Structure 1
Amino acid sequence: MKHLLALLFTIITFATMAQTTPLLGTTDAKLLTLETTCTWFNPTYESYKPDAASVAGLKKALSANATFLVFGGMWCSDTHNLLPKFFKTMDEAGVPRKNIQLYLVDEQKNSPEKLEKQYGVNNVPTFIILQNGEEKGRVVETVRQSIEADLLQLLP
């Protein structure tokens, strides 16, 4: 009986650890939509209504080869707030998910790839617009108006 209880305890411990393992580094955005991964993502994504004029402006201003580097932290309340709004805006603007690279960092703002160092990311979330490989601008940690309006202001 002791062995059975010890085995059961071990299984439960490992199952709990697997569910709470933080996402770090390059991350598929689909993982954010899983309830077991991010309980905060779907409700905000579904309820957010991006400004239609800003979305239309983004559609017009973004080149077909525009990409986004997005840095966030699973532990960060600003990421919880803005990341779902960003993805909703990008979906409505018709930006393919393959043009969005999501990097998650730990609480010290580090990831396995160290891309955050290359781009000088000190706060999260950080949304960087790249066109033809050149940075056009970034939104860092908070927004002035909304994620869609702030991103649009970065584009010519």
Structure 2
Amino acid sequence: MAETDLETLRPAPDWDAAAHADAVETLGTAELTYHVWTADWCPDCREQVPAFAAALDAAGVDPSAVHVYPVERDDDGKYGPGMETFDVSLIPTVVVERDGEELARFEESAPRPLVVALAAALADATE
């Protein structure tokens, strides 16, 4: 995981990689780049991102392949690096690219946990 002071990016110690072996394998696919927008003040981020960080660790993803963008907020809304470039308005958001092409995206919430939803989207995109 990229070097950061964000608590949300500390891998969840109780996350069970063996129970999500397929997702871990998919996330560890070579040549993927991860862009992660998160914030410690965000309840959805605190709930979902630590498991994602644990999955990336379990997958052996090179920290240089994970780009972290801390999100702040004020009376005008959320702001942070790369939000306009990647059209990010909800957090957490994770964008996965290969060679600059977006393969998968997770935004804020889904019927499945972030790790599972993103791995399924990646599996569909790389078939």
Length, aligned pairs only: 117
More strand by proportion, 1 or 2? Answer: 2
Residue 47 of structure 1: how far off its partner (Å): 1.3
TM-score (norm 2): 0.81
Match of 1:89, SS state, is helix
When the two chains are superposed, the root-mean-square deviation of aligned CA atoms in Å is 2.0
- Structure 2: stretches of 5+ with no match in the other structure: none
Map residues 1-156 of structure 1 onto 2, 5 A cutoff.
28-29=3-4, 31-32=5-6, 38=7, 45-50=12-17, 51-59=20-28, 62=29, 64-107=30-73, 108-111=77-80, 113=81, 115-155=82-122, 156=126
Task: Quote the Cα distance in structure 1 between the aligned partners of 2:104 and 2:26.
Answer: 16
TM-score (norm 1): 0.67
Distance 1:77 1:52, change over 3 A: same
| 5+ residue gaps, structure 1 | 1-26, 33-37
Q: Which structure has greater helix proportion?
A: 1
Structure 1 distance, partners of 2:9, 2:119, is 23
Indicate conservation of the 8 Å contact 1:109/1:116, yes or no: no
Runs of 4+ in structure 1 off by over 6 angstroms are: none
